[in-house]
Each structure stands twice: as C-alpha cells, then as structure tokens.
Homo-oligomer: A and B are copies of this chain.
Amino acid sequence: MTRGSTVNPDSPVFNPKKFLATERDNSKINITQLNHFLESTPENSRLVRSLIDQIVNDPILKTQTNYYDNEILKEREQTLKKIARLSLYMEQDIKTVRHSFRNKDLLKSLQDEQENANTLTNKDISIFDKRLSLIAMIDPQLSTRVGVHLGLFGNCIKGNGTDEQIKYWLQTKGALFIKGIYGCFAMTELGHGSNVAQMQTTATYNPEDDTFIINTPNLTATKWWIGGAAHSATHSVAYCRLIVNGKDYGVKTFVVPLRNITTFDLLPGISIGDLGKKMGRDGIDNGWIQYKNVVIPREYMLSRFTKVVKDPQTGVPTVKTQPQLDQISGYSALLSGRVNMVMDSFRFGSRFTTIATRYAVGRQQFANTKDSPETQLINYPLHQYRLIPQIAITYLISPVAFDLLDNYYTTLEELYTASSNKSSSASLDLVSKKLKNLFVDSAALKATNTWLVAQLIDELRQSCGGHGYSQYNGFGKGYNDWVVQCTWEGDNNILSLTAAKSIVKKFVDAALKGKYNSSLDEHSFDYLNPTNIMKIMSTSSSPYFEFKEGGGEDDNQDYRTIWGVMLVKLIAHIAKQIRKTNDPDMMSKSLVMVSKFHSIQLMLKCFETKLNNKKTSDPKTREILWKLYKLFSLYFIDKHSGEFQQFKILKPDQVTNVIQKKLLQLLPEIRTECIALTDAFKLPDEVLNAPIGYYDGDIYQNYFNEIIQNNPVEKTEAGKPPYVDLLLKTLHRGYTFDEALGGSSDSSILEKLSK
C-alpha cells in the first residue's frame, strides 16, 4: 500500500482529490486577478513567480521534507552552502536591474578603489531583496543568517558611516557582495536587549596611539545572540559606549574585526562561543563575543554623525556630533527588519492557510446520519470560524505590507538626501517627522502582525489535528522559526507601548491644540483629524454606531470607520487617566490595545485603497474581496466586543444581532471560494513543503509517501531499533526484585539473619 497504484481512486470512503477538484470546478472568481491584487501589480506577480520557480528548483536552495530532519550542525552547514549560492544570485540580480550584462564587470568596478564608480541604490538590490523575502517563507533561517550580514551589518554601516566608510567596507572590501568580509551586528548584550542606550561595552579613546580600546567590562556586557558570531563573521559592528577623556558620550558604533580573514583564527583579545540550540532557526550560528582590550584604529568608528577629532596642534581630542540625526540613525538598522517582518507575516500566513484549507476540504470526520458519508471538516461551522478568518487576516496583511515597504524606501531615500546634501533644517525636520510616523506604523504593524501570524500557525496546526503535529507538515518548525519575530528587532510589547504612546500624544495635540498635519498624518492617522475627534466625542445624543445597509461598495467603509471611533474613544479614555495619574505605565494594557487597533484600521484602509483603484475588475472577485474585508473587521470587533460595549460604540443587542450575525453569515459565503482564495497565493508544493497541503489534495498518499521516504527501514532490520538488545534485556529480565537485591526477603532466611 505504499504505491499510489494500490489505492482505489473511486473508493467511496476517502477521496480528497475529488473534493479539491470539485471546489476548483465550482469556483466563480478570478485567481489571476486575486494574485495581482495580492502582489500589488501584474509585473510584481510575474517576478515573484519567477523567483520562486528558481528557488524551489535550485539544487542547493530548494527544501524538501527531509529538511525537517536536519540536526543542528547539518543545518548550519547547509545554510552556509545556500549563502554561497545566494551570493552568485545576488550578483546576477544586480546586473539584471542595471542591464549591465554587456559591460565591464560591474562589481569589479564598484570594488576598485581607483575608479569613481557610483554606489548601489535600493533599486539595484530590489530583485535580490525580494528573493530574500521569498526565501524567508521557505527557509527562514537562511534569510536571517544572510540578512544579518547584508541587512543589519550593512545597514548599520550605511546608516552610521561616512560616504568613504560605506564605500570602503561595503564595496571595496566586498561585504555588499558577500565577499572578503562577513559581518555580524553586535548590539544586544547578555544583560541588555531593548534598552540600547544602556549597553555596557566600552570603546575608550587612546590619544597616544589614536586608537580605540574595546572592552567587555563584565559578564552581563557580553555581546549575546549575535547571529553569525559563532561560526561565520570576520567583522562585527559593535555598539559600545564612547569614552573620551574619561567622559561617556553614549552608545556609538564601531567596526571591530573578529577573525583573521585568511586563516579564520580569532584575533587577539576576541573570545567567542556558540549559543547552541534555540527554539528554532538553528541554521543561524548565534554566538556570544567578549572583547578584552581589543585595539582598533580611530577611523573604524562609524562617523557620519559623531566623530572624534584630534586637534593637530594640541593633540587634544574632541567629540563632534549631530545629535538629532545620530539618534535617528541609531535605530534605523532595526527599521528595515520590522518593515520586512510585516511582509513575512503575509508570506507565512499564505503558506499555512493554504495547507490548512486544503486539508479542511479533503479531510472528513463524523457523519450527519449513519449512512451518509462523513462530513468534510470545512463544512462544520466551527471549523469555518477557525479557518476562514485566518484567510481574511492573510489577505488584509498584503496591502499594508506593500504600502509600508514603499513608504520605508521613499522615506529612507529622503533622509539620505536630506542628511548628505546639507539641506535646509526645514526639509530635515519634515523627513524626521515622516520617519517618526514610519516608526509608529512599523512598530505597531510589526507587533500586531507577528502576533497574529503566531496565533494563525498555532490555530491552523490544531485544525489539522494529529497530522499537524508531524514535523513533515511544517507547522512545528514553522511555529518555532516564526515566534522569535515577536521578540527580536524590538519586543512586541515594548514596540506596542512605544507606538501607542506616540499615538496618544498625537491625539492630545489634535484634540487640545488642534494640531494636525493633514499631508503628513492623512495616510495613517486620519481618525485623529480634529474635526473627526470633535464629532465622535460630542455625539452624546445618539452615541451608538450604525452600519449603513445600502449594500454599495461605498457603504463598506463603515467597517473601517467604526475602528476610528473605537480608537478615538479608547485613546481619549487613556489620555484622561494619564492626566489624572501622570503615570502612563498604569495604562499599558490599554496602550497595547491602541497599537493593535491602529494596525487593524490601517490594514483596512490600505486594503480598501487598493481595491478602490478598480484594477480588480471582475465583479465576483471584487465581491469576495469585500467580504474578506468585512469579515476581518467583524472578527476583531467580535473579539473585542468588550471594548466596543464598554465605550458605548455598540449596544449589547447590536453585538448579537449585527456583529455576530453578520459574521456567521459571511463564513459559509466565503467558504465556497476558500480553495480558490488560497490557490490564488500561487504557492507551489515545494514552498508549502507539507504533504497534507499539496495542490492535488491527495492528502493521505502524499503524506504516507513522505513519511516512508524520510524514515526508511532500520539498518538493524525492519521494526528493530538499534537498541533492541536493551529492550529484550528489559522485557526478559528473569530475576525477581528480591533476587536483584543480591539478598533475600524470604522470611526463613531473614529469621536466620536476626539470630
């Protein structure tokens, strides 16, 4: 029964393939239009397909179910092999963007210090970035391990280095192309994570040699969790306290070499260790680093905004700094990670909803009557409630993820221009305000969406019953790899609080001082428009929210507007309490909610904006997308019906007769297109890497085949474990407990012994 041919394709008992085929036959929506909606444009959709096609067919980059069996060292080695392969793709991707296959080797000229070649732009690496982002869905540890070098190490140099420093380390030395040096990002310490300003590693200026001496002053200052440190990094960018003439200038960044790039020996004063096993992502070689009197030239300090200058006459060193920009740039290395994690949330969500939806359609359980065939899981209302909102969540993440990414690139470009061109302080001021909004949005969206997807994976794993627990169906490693996203690049709770506190401040400015910059704030904070606030806060006569029932697309906006009302009332309540107690921390629980609700309304807004551009023309397809929009809103209103009633936005009867009723009505309507909706993600089986979710729906045969393939007959003999002797010895231990004592408990013998 291990061969497909022994299965009766017309068996009345189980034929999941037919179930899936039927769903596809009956679908009335346009999958191509859906996919273009999800990928933003037809061009991007094509690019994404072609990149995925390349990744899953590449003999080194592809993953199969045996991927789940790797031990830690194997994972590390395989990941490095993939990085070596990726470095070649990177060169090709840059050439593709630049159309430079016919000229003198582009990278060589970028590396050549003599030539005045221009630098790489974000556009130049746009294809490769997308490639990495897609790999994050298939093999997350790979994209992180190379992302630490290219993203964290690279962005830290780009954000904090002078133009010459950027050119030297990234181009001349080759770091940008994963050549010459491999970097790690030595920020976190054993005793300090989120609180960057309190890092304890020191960089003390030594005027005699014009050098810095890097030191780890105590155990808790050990650099910790440093991806790449254990095995691969030749250089670190280290966050250290700048000490000049005994004065502490706060935390700055320094390039500190770790290993001899020719022999890979650790350099003097460098002590490094492996952090070993983690909950997931063991392919990343996270390590710890201690610096003991490590000497680096003064010029290795990244000095775009802060510089130690030695007076040529007196030899006295002074510190020159641009505090405003220095602070912004200090955090910008983490910003890219946060923005990308929102896109990761969409990709991961699409992977696991596809698997679980196909399983729900193919799997049967319990019959309505004794003689009827068993019911497909998807036809149970409870199963619909568990699964379909997760599809809606995934659909709602996509538009906001693309929007945030665009916003990030635009704003960073503006910042770079403003900071290098000696622009007016007004334009610098404007871009720093934009950056602040971006910080709020990215923090709230990173926290909210990584949490949502962690729950999504867990809920959907449970919805696949026991088979969800098999490592070969991807949920286990998927979850373990995923959940660190809730912690790194800013802990979700801390990020939520930070974002919410900024939003509360915006509210206070708008409500009390009428301050509201519509060109800046329209995009994400239109609910904080003073007119809107006034309207909401003054509707004491008829305070409850009513959904318009026209049925036109314009009426759908109500499903977002209600979240604006919720936000204004909740924030007003928080602001009032804080005014009373002067202790914002006491309102933390509500502040986390503000961050979540802000994200929900922003997701609805980006979705609505995208759908309103009418590029999705097919009416049935538009209809299902609007249904997902409504479901998303209703699902979370229902989850938070406590707050909606507490703040008198909904009456108890509205919760029952409007919210919950509409919610339960939508589920079976969307259910009819659930296969089409997940097919529209267009993820090939190789990306899903979970046999119960493969396209053909042949759940049992696919799953059985993978199990057999990954667990061949024991070398010792079928069904005999290598430790069979121990088993036999245990089962056939011939002695009794008394005999094992080497004495006896026989009463006649005991009697003798007591004489």
A41-49, A180-188, A298-306, A548-556: which lies at the interface: A180-188
**A380 is contacted by which of B104, B588, B731 (Cβ under 8 Å)?**
B588
3 smallest CB-CB distances across A and B, nearest first, come from A279-B476, A641-B642, A382-B588
A438-446, A488-496, A510-518, A622-630: which lies at the interface: A488-496
Q: Contact at A733–B465, with CB atoms within 8 Å?
A: no
Q: How far is the CB of A73 from chain B (nearest CB, A)?
A: 7
Q: Contact at B711–A747, with CB atoms within 8 Å?
A: no
Q: Which residue of B lies closest to A647 (CB)?
A: B652
Docked CA distance A282–B639 (Å): 36
Docked CA distance A319–B740 (Å): 47
Docked CA distance A750–B192 (Å): 57
Asked if A736 lies at the interface with its beta carbon under 8 angstroms from chain B, I say: yes
Q: 1/0 contact trace for A639-677 toward B, CB 8 Å? A: 111111111100010011000000010000000000000
Asked if A21 lies at the interface with its beta carbon under 8 angstroms from chain B, I say: no
Asked if A178 lies at the interface with its beta carbon under 8 angstroms from chain B, I say: yes
- A666-708 at interface with B (beta carbon < 8 Å): 700-701, 703-704, 707-708
Q: How far is the CB of A485 from chain B (nearest CB, A)?
A: 11
CB-CB under 8 A from A331, the residues of chain B are none
- A483-512 at interface with B (beta carbon < 8 Å): 483-484, 486-488, 491-493, 497
CB-CB under 8 A from A472, the residues of chain B are 276-277
Q: Contact at A737–B219, with CB atoms within 8 Å?
A: no
Given A266-B719, A278-B476, A469-B279, residue A704 in contact with residue B222 (CB < 8 A): yes
Asked if A721 lies at the interface with its beta carbon under 8 angstroms from chain B, I say: yes
Q: Which residue of B lies closest to A292 (CB)?
A: B1
Q: Contact at B277–A69, with CB atoms within 8 Å?
A: yes
Q: Contact at B646–A655, with CB atoms within 8 Å?
A: yes
CB-CB under 8 A from A84, the residues of chain B are 726, 729-730
CB-CB under 8 A from A640, the residues of chain B are 642
**A730 is contacted by which of B105, B178, B642 (Cβ under 8 Å)?**
B178
**A737 is contacted by which of B6, B107, B465, B718 (Cβ under 8 Å)?**
B107
A75-83, A129-137, A524-532: which lies at the interface: A75-83
A158-166, A193-201, A406-414, A612-620: which lies at the interface: A193-201
- A436-461 at interface with B (beta carbon < 8 Å): 454, 458, 461
Given A218-B7, A718-B272, A736-B107, residue A469 in contact with residue B497 (CB < 8 A): no
CB-CB under 8 A from A30, the residues of chain B are none
Q: How far is the CB of A493 from chain B (nearest CB, A)?
A: 6
Docked CA distance A88–B84 (Å): 53
Asked if A558 lies at the interface with its beta carbon under 8 angstroms from chain B, I say: no
Given A1-B219, A279-B471, residue A76 in contact with residue B723 (CB < 8 A): yes
CB-CB under 8 A from A103, the residues of chain B are 745, 747
Q: Contact at B711–A365, with CB atoms within 8 Å?
A: no
CB-CB under 8 A from A655, the residues of chain B are 642, 645-646
A257-265, A393-401, A427-435: which lies at the interface: A257-265
CB-CB under 8 A from A191, the residues of chain B are 13-14, 364, 700
Q: How far is the CB of A443 from chain B (nearest CB, A)?
A: 15
Q: Contact at B374–A198, with CB atoms within 8 Å?
A: yes
Q: Contact at A656–B652, with CB atoms within 8 Å?
A: no
Q: Contact at B731–A11, with CB atoms within 8 Å?
A: no
